[in-house]
Amino acid sequence: MSSDSAFLDRMESIKLRFEEVSVLITDPNVISDMKRFVQLNKEYRNLEPLVNSYTEYKQVLNNLRSARELLQDEKDEELREMAKLEIDEMTERKAEIEQEIRMLLIPKDPEDDKNAVLEIRAGTGGDEASIFAGDLFRMYSKYCESKGWKLEVSSFTEGTVGGYKEIISTVSGNGVYGVLKYESGVHRVQRVPQTETQGRVHTSAASVAVLPEADEFDIDLKMEDIRRDEFCSSGPGGQSVNTTYSAIRLTHIPTGIVVQCQDQKSKLKNYDKALAELRTRLYNLEYQKYIDEVASKRKTMVSTGDRSAKIRTYNWPQGRVTDHRINLTLYNLPAIVDGDIDHIIEKLQMEENSARLNEMDVNA
């Protein structure tokens, strides 16, 4: 990799672009253009680790060159031995940085840094499916808490014996969508339902959809295209919830998309959250085309492109969780349903990065 002058030329051009962006984000004219300022800040954050690795890479090359020259010219055996050790150490570090840079050069999904809308809906299995949807929501709540992310419920419909027929929430934090996107698809549970008197194992399902939350700059939303309805909230929250018209329903007339928010007592807060969700759903109409293209190439993302795809099974009798996309089976179900899903997501990310590297090598 290091002998390839095209690689060094590419890294130098990236470094020059990073320096250019560093200047631009301090320019008053850029700062006054909020959309451009946000884009440039994002580009700066993406380029910074790449430039830092390249800076170290160049230093390692210099150290290698110096050590080889010393080995060639020096007569003192002790100094020659030190040079040999330096060459071994720098050669190993050079290979490590080359791999780091390869990974950093993988084209990122432009949405990975965004917050996410998380939807969980009960599927086949009746009451047990609603209970399972509740289990999944608890799993993601625990996971988000462990990551320091903020999870806010915008709307939900409770199941008749517990759990949820559907629950929609927004997850905010650093790189949320880039992590949670792997959870989209059908999750299946195999266990003895609470309502089963014969002790038979049943199979139920719930679907999970993860959407990147649209920024206000991502889509031009015209207020005249939106019909706003107000209604009484339902569910827990005290008397005021059921007696005041604080819940908001927004209908986007051109597309027929409907969203609602009822979890806040404040009408204004419900309206703001509903508007953000509507913006996200409209944005995802276009984004889905990109996801479908990705899904056709990488099995880790098949469920995002096809939300009817079964991605994971949770088997209670055997204490087993299987992710069908990468044939990964783990026997720590209690920990996983308690929010410990990092290992599964990391394996999926590794699989996708490997696929992306192969694409880069093929197209190189």
Write the CATH number for 93.
Answer: 1.20.58
Give yes or no: residues 203 and 169 share one domain: yes
255 belongs to a structural domain = no
pLDDT tens digit string along 291-326? Answer: 665 555 545 554 343 445 789 999 999 999 999 999
Give yes or no: residues 46 and 134 share one domain: no
pLDDT value of position 362? 58
Which of 81, 105, 129 is the last residue before a domain boundary? Answer: 105
Give yes or no: residues 76 and 162 share one domain: no
236 belongs to a structural domain = no
On the question of pLDDT at 113 being above 60, the answer is yes
Q: How far apart are CA 65 and CA 59, in angstroms?
A: 10
Which of 56, 74, 105 is the last residue before a domain boundary? Answer: 105
Give yes or no: residues 88 and 139 share one domain: no
Which of 105, 137, 170 is the last residue before a domain boundary? Answer: 105
DSSP 3-state assignment of 70?
A: helix
327 belongs to a structural domain = yes
For 224-250, what is the mean pLDDT? 69
241 belongs to a structural domain = no
Q: What's the helix, strand, coil split of the chain in %, to 5?
A: 55, 20, 25
Q: What is the pTM of this model?
A: 0.68
Q: What is the maximum alpha-carbon separation in the chain?
A: 92
For 33-61, what is the mean pLDDT? 91
Total Cβ atoms within 10 A of residue 303: 27
- Total domains present in the chain: 2
For residue 341, the enclosing domain spans 116-213+320-356
CATH number of the domain bearing residue 142: 3.30.70.1660
Give yes or no: residues 67 and 46 share one domain: yes
pLDDT tens digit string along 324-349? Answer: 999 999 999 999 999 999 999 999 98
Query: What is the residue type of 309?
Result: A
249 belongs to a structural domain = no
DSSP 3-state assignment of 254?
A: coil
Q: CA of 3: how far to CAs of 8, 52, 55, 153, in Å?
A: 8, 20, 16, 53
Higher-pLDDT residue of 141 and 1 is 141
Give yes or no: residues 41 and 176 share one domain: no
190 belongs to a structural domain = yes
Phi, psi of 178 (to 5 degrees): -60, -20
Q: For 130-195, give the DSSP string.
A: HHHHHHHHHHHHHHHHHHT-EEEEEEEEE-BTBSEEEEEEEEESTTHHHHHGGG-EEEEEEE--TT
**What six digits make up the tokens of 134?**
């509740």
